[in-house]
Homo-oligomer: A and B are copies of this chain.
Amino acid sequence: MPELRKDPVSGRWVIISIERGKRPSDFGMRVSPKKGGFCAFCKGNERTTPPEIMAFRPDGSKSDTPGWTLRVVSNKFPALNVEGDLDRKGDGIYDQMNGVGAHEVIIESPEHTLTLSTMPLKSVEDALWAFHQRITDLKNDKRVKYVLVFKNEGDDAGASLEHSHSQLIALPIVPQLVEEEIDHAKHYYEYKERCIFCDIIDQETADKTRVISENEDFIALAPFAPRSPFETMILPKKHESSFKPNGSFKLLAEILQKTLKQIDKVLDMPPYNLMIHTSPFKNETNDYYHWHIEILPKLTKIAGFEWGSGFYINPTPPEEAARFLREAKL
């Protein structure tokens, strides 16, 4: 019998095929080997991207020249414009505003063939620092209400360039999915006076079947009601409402890279999307919302049922996915 499960944070239902659960080898999606050729993100081609917004590079080395270990540039084809006013307006029944915001690319390594799971741990740590610095800087722009950091790995996950990179979009409104998570978390807090994510961590730690790994500060879990096979969530174990370093990003970089290595090992380098969910600027410090990273391997297709219902059909129970990932020999 399939199982209907409800995600307690988003309110989203999923259908889990318990009996004929798909095993890792049943999915055919894989990231194509990187072909190389001219790449604007490679070292030496700095002049072919928009100018650097920031970079990690040796003291004294010049912007937009080689020597960097990480670069942040504007997206050449931005979804939103940095300049301009929001100019909110109505048109009868409809609401609209100018697409003001920022769209940046974080190039995590100068090397074309590396991925977040194969690059030096230090590069992953630096990427997290870059996310944090860019968020902190964008917070000064009063038009910006939220910054979404995300990564698309592989063409099937929407990556248009094969050189590893993350992106951020700074938005003039808090996105609907984040707002919904926050509403549910707030409602839960009002009722229980506890953070729903903290309660999830407690229950998962006691239950163990969906825990993938943990270290001193972080835990990686397969969510109870995952949208896709092998969906994974990384959360700080102690309540933290916003994405920020705890002295360093070392432990987060460690569990993130380990999780991606496990996913690559078990699923043979699947395409994936990664997103950071954090509290909006207007309420950065609170007791009800708990920042986290979501990793969605791209293994199934979104079809009419999903588009029409908001339900997801997941052929791999998270308990099995967690076991495969936990037992991966790295």
A interface, CB within 8 angstroms of B: 1-6, 8, 11-13, 15-17, 79-81, 84, 91-100, 148, 150-152, 156-159, 167, 169, 171-173, 175-178, 180, 196, 199-200, 203, 207, 224-225, 273-277, 294, 296, 301-305, 307-311, 313
CB distance from A243 to the nearest CB of B (A): 13
Residues of B within 8 A of A224 (CB): 91, 94
Cross-chain contact A175 with B310 (CB below 8 angstroms): yes
CB distance from A268 to the nearest CB of B (A): 21
Cross-chain contact A200 with B93 (CB below 8 angstroms): yes
Instruction: Contacts A176-B12, A273-B303 given; indicate if A3 touches B98 (C-beta within 8 A).
Output: yes
Contact of A93 among B93, B196, B308 (CB under 8 A): B196
Contact of A175 among B157, B175, B309, B313 (CB under 8 A): B309
Report the bound CA distance from A85 to B276 in whole Å: 38
Q: Give the number of times this chain occurs in the complex, counting copies.
A: 2
A1-B99, A3-B99, A158-B303 provided; 19 other pairs, C-beta below 8 A?
A1-B84, A4-B96, A79-B305, A91-B224, A93-B200, A94-B203, A94-B225, A150-B303, A158-B302, A158-B304, A159-B303, A171-B309, A175-B311, A176-B310, A177-B308, A177-B309, A177-B310, A178-B308, A275-B304
Cross-chain contact B99 with A305 (CB below 8 angstroms): no
Report the bound CA distance from A274 to B13 in whole Å: 21
Residues of B within 8 A of A196 (CB): 93
Cross-chain contact A309 with B2 (CB below 8 angstroms): no
Cross-chain contact B15 with A178 (CB below 8 angstroms): no
Report the bound CA distance from A11 to B215 in whole Å: 39
CB distance from A144 to the nearest CB of B (A): 13
Instruction: Contacts A173-B13, A303-B152, A303-B157 given; indicate if A96 touches B5 (C-beta within 8 A).
Output: yes
Report the bound CA distance from A292 to B137 in whole Å: 45
Residues of B within 8 A of A301 (CB): 156-158
